[in-house]
Amino acid sequence: MTDTTTLTADGERRIASFTDVTRTYGGIPVVDSVSLSIRPGTTAVIGPNGSGKSTLLGLLAGSVEPVEGVVDRAETGDGRGERRVGYLPQDVPFRGSFTARETLAFYARFVGADPDALLASVGLTDAADRRVDALSGGMRRLLGIAQATIGDPPLVVLDEPTSGLDPGMRERAFRVAAAAADDGTAVVVSSHDLDLVGEHADRLLLLDRGGVAAADDVDSLFEDHDVSSVEELYRSVVASDSDGLGGSSEADHAVHVTGVSE
């Protein structure tokens, strides 16, 4: 298959791009005229609840159809397999009566991958024969991340892979997700965990009310906004417009706005 990956203006590979993409539900725009490029490395998508993160990730993964605009994804190439995008939705959707190995084996058969190697890559070898409905939330997320990387796709989309996990499991899930970006893969991950985003992300995509409030390399954004952490950046760009920022949190440094559904 031809590699149609294009280059950005600064000469970097572009794995995917949005051109004036809009998605509405019931006539209300959830993602509004968004244009952006996704490059290799880890891109973190952050923003308040209801800012359009899941919809944007769905558009990127192909599970949501744009109402206006164009979503381009790179073809596979460079010796990669047949899969163009790996995707883990916010709610891990696997069937509960299947074991972890059976679940990965189902997906692995589509592209001829080895489920045991995938289980090992996320540290779930010991849980291989446990049913999905007997796995902890963190283990399910790790299983989901392993699934998303099957077939070595050039783009991996992970929707809040650390949501609802304890601090140790959040760190582990984020580390595994970021590791997938080491070989030139573009990993796009949404998260409310701003500390982990700061530790692992190469680039940030900050959404607010369906639009892109800021998007660039982490260091450039810090410099442009004269801040030293993702949380400060978040507060600088988004929080001034949001009510209730201090009203709730998932963890000490996580941002979570209550009362707004994704």
Partner 1 sequence: MTSALRALGTVFRRELATVLRTPGYAVLGLGVLLIVAAVAVVGGGGSTGILPAVVDLLLPVEVLVPLVAVVLGYRALLTDVGSGELAVIRTYPVGVVAYTLGVLLARLVALIVLVGVPLAMVGGYIWATASPETGIYATHTGVDSPLLFVRFLTFALALGASYLAVAAAVSSLAAGRRSALALGSVVLLGGVLGGDLGVLRSLSDGGSTTALAGTVASTPNGAFRGLVFEYVVGVAFEAGNGFVDPGRAVLTLLGWSVVGVAVAVGSLAYGRRVDAVLERLRGRFRF
| Span of 42-50, 87-95, 221-229, 235-243 interacting with partner 1 by CB under 8 A | 87-95
111 binds partner 1 (CB under 8 A): yes
115 binds partner 1 (CB under 8 A): no
Residue 147 vs 163, nearer CB to partner 1: 147
The rounded distance, in Å, linking the Cα atoms of 247 and 244 is 5
72 burial type by CB count under 10 A (0-12 exposed, 13-18 middle, 19+ buried): middle
CB neighbours of 222 closer than 8 A, spacing ≥ 6? 228, 229, 233
210 binds partner 1 (CB under 8 A): no
- In three state form, how does the secondary structure of 22-81 look? EEEECCEEEEEEEEEEECCEEEEEECCCCCCHHHHHHHHHCCCCCCEEEEEECCCCCCCC
| Min CB(116)–partner 1 separation in Å | 17
User: Of residues 62, 128, 217, 253, which one binds partner 1 by CB under 8 A?
Assistant: 62
| Min CB(222)–partner 1 separation in Å | 33
110 binds partner 1 (CB under 8 A): yes
| Min CB(87)–partner 1 separation in Å | 5
Size, binding site for partner 1 by CB under 8 A:
38
Q: Which residues bind partner 1 (CB under 8 A)?
A: 23-27, 58, 61-68, 82-89, 91, 93-95, 97-98, 102, 106-107, 109-111, 147, 150-151, 153
